[in-house]
Amino acid sequence: MNTLTAKTADMVSAENVRFEGERLIVTLSDWRELSVPYKKIPWLKWLAKATPKQRADWSLEPGGYAIYWEQLDDGIEICHLLGTGSLN
């Protein structure tokens, strides 16, 4: 049952983003950090192909519900990182 997970995803937002090695690390509003091996996740292939400069040029959507890379014209919703959205 995803009820608790879905409610949690609705309550948290992204506050910061950084890259360490081959990991995307997102700091959430509840102080948790998500660490994602972006080069190993097929639906993040666009991020893996980006240059370090392009990856560093991100912004948070209003309310922190998503991270957007304008130069790459793509982004990630926090609910997908938490596993409550479609991963395809």
pLDDT at 66: 97
pTM for the whole thing?
A: 0.81
Do the beta carbons of residue 72 and residue 58 sit within 8 Å? no
User: CA torsion 62→19→58→35, rounded to 10°?
Assistant: -30
Instruction: Check pLDDT > 70 for residue 13.
Output: yes
Separation of alpha carbons 19 and 27, rounded Å: 11
Domains present along the chain, CATH in parentheses: 3-81 (3.30.2020.40)
Residue 19's identity, in one-letter code, is F
Asked if residue 33 has pLDDT above 90, the reply is yes
